[in-house]
Amino acid sequence: MPSRHLVLFDIDGTLLRTEGVGVKAMLRAFTAIHGDLGFSFEGLEIAGALDGLLFARIMAKHGLPAHDEAHAHFQRVYRDALGSSLTPDRVRQMPGAGELARRLSERGAATGLLTGNYRETAQIKIRAAGYDESHFPFGAFGADGASRRHLTPVAIERATAHHGRAFAPERVTIIGDTPLDVDCAKAHGCRAIGVATGPYSVEQLATAGADLAVADLSDTEALVRWILGD
Ligand SMILES: [Mg+2]
């Protein structure tokens, strides 16, 4: 029976880790397009940030135009760079994440993505990590809004379109590894699970306002109970 719950997963640090391959592919894409201008993410907070925003910041830092066409071109080059470098041995699933998505789907919950990754690169990462893509049939991505907060209503809208039913904010749970994931849930009256498999500790995620903060997602049954409320 379909449940009225919607669960949205962040990707990097939550579902998987690419051990820097993603970041390196992005920098390679900038260099491939513009030449070696010494591109780096130094001084930028990457964890939890939207790829679209990182693109705009890097372009601004180097005085390069960040119009739509340039952005679309960058996305294609980055997609190819990531696709050729992210072999399955360079990405790993975070403990329990796949099992949690599977159990929630089995119980009839809607599951999808809420991530700073572009749609196509999100798909590359999910596939390389060996996830069952059918557990993430919709999502909000890194070019869908100006900040992570903007992605929450987009993801809920797409869940509604995909499943043909509405989801009340209090039945929407967002799972992520940074305070920005927590914020994009709480800003819309949704629930946030902070998972400390990224750069932030359980304490930091709890302080950021997570309704539940855990070391990892391996306690499947406890998490399913907490999310579905039974
Ligand atoms: Mg993350």
CA of 115 to the centre of ligand 1 (A): 7
What's the distance, Cα to Cα, between the start and end of the chain in Å? 15
pLDDT in tens, 70-95: 999 999 999 999 999 999 899 999 99
Asked if the model's pLDDT at residue 117 lies above 80, the reply is yes
Check whether residue 44 and residue 144 sit in a common domain: no
* Together in a domain, 106 and 215: yes
Residues 39 and 146 occupy one common structural domain: no
Residues 176 and 138 in one domain: yes
- Structural domain ending residue among the three candidates 88, 115, 132: 88
In this structure, are 34 and 114 located in the same domain?
Answer: no
User: 19 pLDDT band (50/70/90 cuts)?
Assistant: confident
Token pair, residue 169, equals: 């904010």
Per-residue pLDDT tens over the stretch 202-216? 999 999 999 999 999
b (16+ CB within 10 A) / e for 180-193: bbbbbbbbbebbbb
Q: CB neighbours of 163 closer than 8 A, spacing ≥ 6?
A: 2, 110
d(CA 187, CA 9): 17
The answer to the question of residue 58 being in a domain is yes
90 CA to middle of ligand 1, Å? 17
Say if 1 falls within a structural domain. Answer: no
Question: Separation of 25 CA from ligand 1 center, angstroms?
Answer: 17
Residues 15-25 have a mean pLDDT of 93
Instruction: Calculate what percentage of the chain has a pLDDT beyond 70.
Output: 99
Return the SS3 of 204: helix
- Cα-to-centroid distance, 48 and ligand 1 (Å): 5
Range of the domain at 51: 21-88
Å from CA of 195 to ligand 1 middle: 9
Give pLDDT tens digits for 152-187: 999 999 999 999 999 999 999 999 999 999 999 999
pLDDT, tens digit (0-9, with 9 covering 90-100), for 28-69: 999 999 999 999 988 888 777 899 999 999 999 999 999 999
Q: Are residues 151 and 112 in the same domain?
A: yes
The bridge status of strand 16-17 relative to strand 92-93 is antiparallel
- Domain ends where: 64, 88, 112? 88
Question: Shortest CA distance to 12 belongs to which of 45, 57, 58?
Answer: 45
In the listed set 36, 62, 88, which residue is the last one of a domain according to the structure? 88
| pLDDT at residue 146 greater than cutoff 70 | yes
Are 81 and 96 part of one and the same domain?
no
Domain membership of residue 203 (yes or no) is yes
* Total number of domains constituting the chain: 2
